[in-house]
Amino acid sequence: MKRLIGIRAIHQRNIQTAVLEAKRNGFGILEIHLSSPQFLPQRYDPTDLKKVKVFAKKNNVILQTHSEIGQSLIQADAILRKAEKQKLKQIVQFSRRIGARCLTLHIGDAPAYHFGIGKSIPNDVLYTDYYAELFRDSMKFITVIASKDLPVCIENDRLIPKYQNLLNGFLKTNKIFLTWDLMKTLRKDQWKFFKKNIQYVRNIHVSSAGHDSLRGHEKDFTLFFNFLQAESIPMVIEIIPLKKAIETKNIIRKAGL
């Protein structure tokens, strides 16, 4: 059985249109990005979500979801942090009702202050313990709202060592899982983390720098592709336009995945 490979729903008119686009171009998975106005969870009632679930199943396309850009698990402001938790509840409910196979969350960005051209230090590097406690609190909250039918996956967007250490403990609960963005793992610290925790990875993102095609960048991914030969984890291509996503799918297939 071939590994499932998917694309993202970002600019399509609606979820049904995106499902048909995925099917027509040989993608078995559609990852819905909840940032686009047409995909915001508040635009859908339970009847709409049931129709989406049925339509995707009828067309043999598996759905999964990705939280909106700007979502944060390390929000420091108490009022905004409360709102983030309410939003998490909402997107978990949305994802479950459409039958999503997983939900991906970003850790989020801490404020960063510049001290020269191209130089900055994020707050979670300066105040590591403080932000670690914020992250820990979010992980605890997710274990409460998580359900067996929807793996909630943390992506390695800002997976600094302190967050890695905390995740090691929460992964063992089997309520929190991982999304592995290969392009973000060109550093050895993350590579070791994912090798050790591969059993918790439920989703893989593939793109090159700038979310471009892998054409010309194949050698950068040889280490990862060789390692993943023994794994059947689905991959989502984080590339637009569609023709470059198709090109990357062909590169992945040629690599034997």
Give dist(CA 115, CA 110) in Å, integer: 16
- Is the previous residue joined to 241 through a cis bond, with omega within 30 degrees of 0? yes
- Single-letter amino acid, residue 124: D
- Cβ neighbours for 54, distance < 8 A, ≥ 6 positions apart: none
Torsions phi, psi for 112 (to 5 deg): -130, 140
Which of these, 136, 154, 255, lies nearest to 201 by C-alpha position? 154
Distance between CA atoms of residues 228 and 193, nearest Å: 15
Q: How many domains does the chain have?
A: 1
Cα–Cα distance between 200 and 180 in angstroms, integer? Answer: 10
| 103-151 residue pLDDT tens | 999 999 999 988 888 888 999 999 999 999 999 999 999 999 999 999 9
Single out the residue of 250, 176, 238 nearest to residue 29, CA to CA.
238
Helices and strands (DSSP H and E) totals, the chain = 9, 10
- Per-residue pLDDT, 30: 98
Q: Which value, in Å, is the radius of gyration of the alpha carbons in the chain?
A: 18
Find the CATH number of the domain harbouring 35: 3.20.20.150
Pairing of strands 29-33, 62-66: parallel
Given its phi and psi angles, is residue 136 left (phi above 0), alpha (psi -120 to 50 degrees) or beta? alpha
Q: For the chain, which ranges sit under pLDDT 70?
A: 1, 187-188
3-class SS at 62?
strand
Find the domain containing 33 and state its range: 5-254
Q: What is the pLDDT of residue 2?
A: 80
- CA gap 41, 19 in Å, rounded: 17
Give the integer Cα–Cα distance in Å for 129 and 215: 41
Tokens linked to 254: 């040629």
> What is the rounded CA–CA span in Å between residue 240 and residue 21?
13
Contacts of 255 by beta carbon, 8 Å cutoff, 6+ apart: 218, 221, 225
C-alpha–C-alpha distance, residues 101 and 150, integer Å: 6
55 vs 176: CA distance, rounded Å: 28
